[in-house]
Each structure stands twice: as structure tokens, then as C-alpha cells.
Amino acid sequence: MNLVTPRSSLQPVAVQGLPAGFRWGVATSSYQIEGAAGEDGRTPSIWDTFCRVPGAVHNGEHGDVACDHYHRMPQDVELIAGLGVDTYRFSLAWPRIQPGGRGPANAKGLDFYKRLVDELQDKGVTPWITLYHWDLPQELEDAGGWPARDTAYRFADYAMLAHEALGDRVEHWTTLNEPWCSAMLGYAYGAHAPGRTDMRDAMGAVHHLLLGHGLAARRMREAAGDNPLELGITLNLGTATPETDSEADREACRRADGMGTRLYLDPIVHGRYPEDVVRDLADQGIELPVQNGDLEAVATPLDVLGVNFYRGALFSGVTEDGSPTDTDGLPVVRGVERDLPRTAMDWEITPGELTDLLVRLQRDYALPTVITENGAAFDDTLAADGSVPDSDRTAYLADHIAAVSEARAQGADVRGYFAWSLMDNFEWAYGYDKRFGIVRVDYDTQERTLKDSAKWYRDTIRLTRNVHQD
């Protein structure tokens, strides 16, 4: 199933097959929207530093102001409530809550999030907190970053500061957002902060991110006692389809799935790293830095798995000239481009593969899931009448929500869908060049404008809810 919704029939309709308690939400992250980078005690994160590296970010842009959400938060919550969503997923800025990544909490930083929670609850919107969305305090990176074991313990301490301050009013907590991105883009490929390029460091980061998750989850469980707590982690997941049925292509998919999915979910759910991936790493002279008791902590029971989905992928096990190995003598894992519609990120649009992924996750891991991010960047512009037509994005949302419904029909326990993103924002290494929002942001004036996709999403939620009320 590719883009199947005709642009001429993008009228909102009730989504079939979703339960009455299905969650509808929007999502953001702290560094991408907050701004106020040097205010009220916040210290630099690795992204503040990375943005100053020449050539690291499009046009040398940064999140110093971003969407100025720190100062415009009440109006933004009003906007969220007006969309009719019941849940808002946002992340806390670690260097705002615990400057430097050590020591006591910063009262002014916590006060901002307390006010945000109050505003949301006053408007009938449930807060869903993500503890870590990539803004590691720079001081912890200077001490070794995620490849250093101590960072896992620092994360658990920070998680407890946040939970102690907000846990009496917030039930839904996600520990990490997309540890694959933190580890691989940050430490192996250098495309994200902190910009390091060492596979051994990246694998150390993988393990210590998961250890930090487990330590934090264990301590939060103990602290919550009998109080409500829905605890999860969010992974960016896709599908790995072989280009042909050849052994080389199937092997490439095994490797891609191992490094992208099973390396995270196997220890989280089953308490072990996949043996084939451990062997693959050993062939490169890399060993995961596991110590006694680590995997028991990583496998602390979860209530929900957050799934961020943007695309599936087709893989080949040979180079374009037919070689089964690359220049380092390693087996080839090559993504193959398909003749499919694409977003402004040049990402293939593959909603049917979201259905496949969710059914596979149910089969192999049996955790309830929530789509914590799904959306698309397109080059939409403000029209003369003040509207923002974005039929491509509306069709994208329609097709992926339909894919969720189909996954439920096939037995997947999917309990919610959060659109990414609430508003246009700082898109990491792409700066402000790519717009994912269902709300347009004029970065010169900070004016917010509902795009057509936001109106469609609002009306779709309303009509779907009415089905259960009738």
C-alpha cells in the first residue's frame, strides 16, 4: 500500500476499526521548539555545541530561539487543545532541568514543565513525557558521552529528578527517543550531535543508552509504588525487505534488521542481545560492554512500546557493480531505491510497511504499541488567502492512519497515533529547511497557522470519536 488516498478525496471521515480508548496526539521535542537556550539556568547541550561546528547544520542554524515555545507555551497549548487531540507528547530538556547533567534540579527549569503540565491538564489534554530526545548536557559528553558507562547512571539520576517533580500528575513516561539515532547518527556516522565517527563508541553508546533506560525504568517503577505509571521507550523502526530472494539479499536484510530493530528490542523484551548481531560485531572486533546485571536492568518490564515510523526499506546484499563485500571487506547492506512517492526528505512513502511492522512487532515482542511519531516534510507554503494547502501531507496522514487500522485488524495491539510534528521546527542537521508540522511557523514573526492537514486531522479525530458516542 503506497499513497492510496486520491488528492481529490481528502475529506475527513471516521476511521474504522479503532477502539473507543484509542489515543490521538501530536508530538514535539524540547530542542526543536523551546528556544530560550541560555535562560533560567539552562546550560548547553550537545546540540548547542554541534550547531556551532562549521558545516554541521544547514546554513549554520541552531535552536537558540527555534519556535520560542518557552515563552509562548500557553498559546501553544491552546492551539493543541483546539486540534481535539487528547494527548501531547513532549520531551524535557535535560540541561534545563539538571544543568551540567549532575547535581540537584534547577527549580526554574522544572517550573516551566510544571506550568506546561498544568496548562495541558486544564485544557483536558494528557501530558506524555519523553525524558531524553537527544539533548545530552555538554558536560557529560565532555566526560565521555553515551559511550561512557557513567552516563547511564547520570541519566537515571536525572530521570528521578523529573519523576519526583512531575510524577504525581503525569502518568505516561517514555525514557528514550530513538536510541538508534543517538548512537549511530551521533557516534558512528557523525551526522548528528556530538558528531563522532567510531563504531566501537557507537556500540558502547547503544548499550549504555539501553542500560540508562533500564536503570531509570526500574527506579521510576519503585518510586511510583501504587500510583499510576505507564512506562515505555520509543524506537525508530522500519521494515527490511530483500530486493530479490537471493541469499545475499536475505542476508543483507538480516543484518539491517539486526542492527536496526533486534539489537534494541531483544534486550528490552527478552533480556539478551541477538546472537547473530553479536557475532557480526565480533567480526569487526567490537564487543558490547555488558556487565553482570545489565541485561536484567535493560529488561525492566514495560507497559508500552513507542514506535516512530517514517519509511520501510528495500535492501540488497551486493554493491551496484555486483560485489558481495564493500571496500573494508564487510558484507554489503545496501538500500535500494524504489519508484515510489517521496517526501521532501527524499524518503519513500510506504504506509503498507507500517502495517507489516506493527504485525511483526506483535508477533515477536507482544507489547502494546503507540505510534509516537509519524509524519512527513513537504515544501508547503502560505497561500495568498492565508491558508496552507498541504494535500501531500494530508494524504500521508490518511494512509498511515489507515495502515494502523489495518494492523489492528490483523491482530496488532496498537493503542494510539501521534502526528509528527505539531509545528514546523528545527529539524536537526537540516536546520529550518524541512517542515514537518501540521501547523506552519513563520520563523520571523513566530506566527502559527493551521495547515489544511491540521484541520483534516482535527475533523478526522472528531468524526472517529463520534462513531463511539453514537
Considering the chain, what is the average pLDDT of its residues? 96
Chain segment 427-453, per-residue pLDDT in tens: 999 999 999 999 999 999 999 999 999
Q: How confident is the model at residue 1 (pLDDT cuts 50, 70, 90)?
A: very low
Annotated catalytic residue, options 243, 373, 406, 427: 373
The DSSP symbol for 236 reads: E
Rounded Cα distance between 426 and 93, Å, is 15
Chain segment 87-115, per-residue pLDDT in tens: 999 999 999 999 999 999 999 999 999 99
On the question of pLDDT at 245 being above 50, the answer is yes
Rounded Cα distance between 215 and 469, Å, is 42
On the question of pLDDT at 6 being above 90, the answer is no
The DSSP symbol for 114 reads: H
For residue 327, what are the contacts with CB-CB under 8 A and spacing of at least 6? none
Rounded Cα distance between 112 and 390, Å, is 33
Q: What is the DSSP string of 28-87?
A: --HHHH---TTSTT---BHHHHHTTSTTTSGGG--SSSTT-HHHHHHHHHHHHHHTT-SE
Annotated catalytic residue, options 178, 348, 353, 427: 178
Chain segment 202-241, per-residue pLDDT in tens: 999 999 999 999 999 999 999 999 889 999 999 999 999 9
Chain segment 7-26, per-residue pLDDT in tens: 556 899 999 999 999 999 99
Chain segment 116-174, per-residue pLDDT in tens: 999 999 999 999 999 999 999 999 999 999 999 999 999 999 999 999 999 999 999 99
Helix (H/G/I), strand (E/B), else coil: 371: strand
Percent of the chain clearing pLDDT 90 (strictly above): 94
User: What is the average pLDDT across 28-54?
Assistant: 98
Catalytic residue check, 178: yes
* Dihedral of alpha carbons 100, 373, 419, 304, sign: negative
Catalytic residue check, 373: yes
Check residue 381 and give its pLDDT: 94
**Axis-axis angle for helices 391-409, 351-365 (nearest 10):** 30
For residue 23, what are the contacts with CB-CB under 8 A and spacing of at least 6? 86, 87, 126, 370, 415, 416, 417, 418
Name the nearest CA neighbour of 35 among 48, 54, 50.
Answer: 48
Check residue 326 and give its pLDDT: 87
Specify whether the CB–CB gap between 131 and 92 falls below 8 A: yes
On the question of pLDDT at 385 being above 50, the answer is yes
User: What is the average pLDDT across 41-63?
Assistant: 98
